[in-house]
Amino acid sequence: IGLSLVRRRLELHDATSPYALAHTYSGVQATNGQIVCTYPSSVIGSSYYVVLQGRNAIQTWSANPVLMDCNTTYNFTTALSQAYGSNQTDVSGSGLFAIYNGDVNQDGVVDGLDFNDWETDNNAFAAGYITTDFNGDGIVDGLDFLIWEPNNNAFVGMVTP
């Protein structure tokens, strides 16, 4: 997760196969990691998978369906097991978890195709809120490569029910 405010999309998917998309919310993830969403009353009382994704993030699903009520919260950061298939990383070494990023083209895997986009922007000294800025500091540079490379080498990809 970057250092600045990040736009994320939060989706609710049905709890049973084929896990159809039930509702989408787009919002800004604050630096504390929170995204405050308001869903229609039609979701209250039903369970859904909570799915988080963003500009260069691997789509990450909640470990299990979540029962929705008026004040439902879901925190991916508290445990590896909060993500389906434990598909996230410990960013602090002491139990603060985050979703993987580096998936520039949003194909569900961090790989060489994403590197090509990063390299183009790196060579052009690109700056701003762009998908190849993995650490969220507003500049595409070698620090972003240091995030992409271990994710690529670990074959990081989307894990879904």
Report the pLDDT averaged over residues 130-145: 93
* pLDDT score at 141: 96
Write down the pTM of the prediction: 0.87
Q: Rounded to 5, what percent of the chain is helix, strand, coil?
A: 20, 25, 50
Choice between 159 and 70, residue whose per-residue pLDDT is larger: 159
Instruction: Evaluate whether 136 touches 128 at the Cβ level (below 8 Å).
Output: no
Percent of the residues in the chain that have a pLDDT greater than 70, as a whole number: 94
Evaluate whether 134 touches 2 at the Cβ level (below 8 Å).
Answer: yes
Looking at residue 11, its pLDDT comes to 94
Q: What is the largest CA-CA distance in the chain?
A: 50
